[in-house]
């Protein structure tokens, strides 16, 4: 648990002891679920948010025809899920979460974030501020994604994404594989692979395995009309 709490943005700026104090005050509890287990259903009331301690879960939605679509995968220790839904004021989560692997999770009652406790402890306030920071980060991420998806062609979207994550040495630092990149850009995996291969053949990219390098930033800038601030 310690490693997950240290990695979680929810406990940023806290010592291990302070994080445990917050958890004790909140009434949080640890759960374990086997592979395929339902952690919460779409119709369940959103009374808790969760911190992943170990394993991986899938956030899903059911279509009217009964088909299940995976909206997101959570697999990093310390990551949250269910946190948005507990603040929407709706009677249910509106999505379900299934254990992709055996998992350990931490459930934190939502009421803990609505006010500080009687002791007005600083760590409680810190946790609330951290949650606001998490929501701000999500809003920024979604704004960037909308901007990216409005670029037009797949090539321009790719150029903008690669430039945004290009390091000074030309390497692209993306915390996603090709499948996740395709989902992020709203295209199929084969379409993404074809475009990456075409850009490589034209000398716009250099690829080796999963590594991508942008040798000439000017070419991609010109391609997507991207001008850094």
pLDDT digits (tens, 9 = 90+) for 128-174: 899 999 999 888 877 777 777 777 788 888 888 888 888 888 888 87
pLDDT band at residue 92, thresholds of 50, 70 and 90? very high
Residues across the chain: 229
CATH topology of domain 150-221: Arc Repressor Mutant, subunit A (1.10.10)
pLDDT of 222 over the 90 cut: no
Tell me the sheet residues that pair with 107. 29, 50
Domain range annotation of the chain: 1-148, 150-221
In the chain, the percentage of residues whose pLDDT exceeds 90 is: 34
How many angstroms separate the CA atoms of 192 and 137, rounded?
Answer: 27
CATH fold label, 1-148: Jelly Rolls (2.60.120)
* pLDDT computed for residue 229 by the predictor: 37
pTM, two decimal places: 0.68
Distances (CA, A) of 113 to 25, 64, 100, 129, 154: 11, 34, 28, 9, 41
């Amino acid at each position: 648990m310690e490693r997950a709490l240290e990695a979680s943005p929810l406990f940023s700026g806290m010592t291990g002891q302070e994080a445990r104090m917050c958890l004790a005050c909140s009434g949080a509890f640890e759960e374990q679920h086997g592979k395929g287990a339902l952690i919460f259903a779409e119709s369940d009331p959103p009374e808790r948010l969760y911190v992943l301690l170990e394993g991986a879960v899938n956030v899903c939605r059911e279509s009217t025809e009964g088909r299940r679509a995976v909206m997101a995968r959570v697999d990093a220790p310390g990551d949250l899920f269910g946190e948005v839904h507990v603040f929407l004021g709706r009677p249910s989560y509106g999505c379900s979460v299934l254990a992709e692997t055996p998992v350990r999770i931490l459930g934190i009652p939502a009421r803990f974030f609505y006010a500080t406790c009687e002791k007005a402890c600083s760590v409680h306030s810190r946790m609330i501020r951290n949650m606001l920071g998490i929501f701000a980060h999500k809003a920024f991420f979604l704004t960037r994604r909308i901007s990216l998806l409005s670029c037009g062609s797949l090539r321009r979207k790719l150029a903008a994404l690669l430039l945004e994550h290009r390091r000074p040495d030309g390497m692209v630092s993306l915390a996603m594989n090709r499948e996740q990149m395709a989902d992020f850009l709203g295209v199929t995996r084969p379409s993404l692979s074809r475009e990456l291969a075409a850009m490589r053949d034209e000398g716009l990219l250099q690829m080796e395995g999963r590594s991508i390098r942008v040798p000439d930033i000017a070419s991609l800038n010109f391609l997507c009309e991207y001008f850094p601030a």
